[in-house]
């Protein structure tokens, strides 16, 4: 089992940047695929990016390609989401999620472990 804690959210202006962190407990975090998801007001939870347990495979939603970068430091039990060129439509609660797997999934229902979320607000 793994516990996840997100941090790094906040209020930023359009075209600004933020870096989210997802800190995990557990000695086998390197065996978990991780995803970042978000849920905006009145919207369903959607995938933002995912990363395989080695970091060698990543996936990005079309809406964030070229602007967001997911990475991980297994020695630090941490996954990051660097968000650049932020837009008001990126405003949401951002969650990290983990699955004991070598394969990543874009469907949030495939992830059993979730953090509490961190709010990102982008003002125009």
Q: Is the predicted pLDDT of residue 27 greater than 80, yes or no?
A: no
Q: Which residues pair with 24 in a beta bridge?
A: 4
By three-state DSSP, how is residue 69 classified? strand
Token pair belonging to 24: 């995990």
CA dist., res. 46 & res. 95, Å (int): 10
- Asked if 14 and 124 touch (Cβ cutoff 8 Å), the reply is yes
CB-neighbour burial class of residue 56 (10 A; exposed 0-12, middle 13-18, buried 19+): exposed
Q: For tokens 């007001």, name the residue.
A: 41
| DSSP structure class, residue 64 | T
pLDDT band at 28 (very low <50, low <70, confident <90, very high): confident
Over residues 50-101, the pLDDT tens digits come to 999 999 999 999 999 999 999 999 999 999 999 999 999 999 999 999 999 9
Q: Sorting pLDDT into bands at 50, 70 and 90, what band is 11?
A: very high
The values of phi and psi at residue 32, to 5°, are -110, 130
3-class secondary structure, 76: helix
């Amino acid at each position: 089992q793994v516990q996840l804690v997100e941090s790094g959210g906040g209020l930023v202006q359009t075209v600004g940047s933020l870096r989210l962190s997802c800190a995990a407990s557990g000695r086998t975090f390197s065996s978990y695929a991780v995803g970042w998801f978000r849920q905006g007001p009145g919207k369903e939870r959607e995938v933002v990016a995912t990363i395989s347990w080695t970091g060698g495979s990543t996936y990005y939603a079309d809406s964030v390609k070229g602007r967001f970068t997911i990475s991980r430091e297994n020695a630090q039990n941490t996954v990051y989401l660097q968000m650049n060129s932020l837009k008001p439509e990126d405003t949401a609660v951002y969650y990290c999620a983990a699955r004991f797997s070598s394969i990543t999934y874009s469907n949030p229902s495939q992830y059993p472990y979730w953090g509490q979320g961190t709010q990102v607000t982008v003002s125009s």
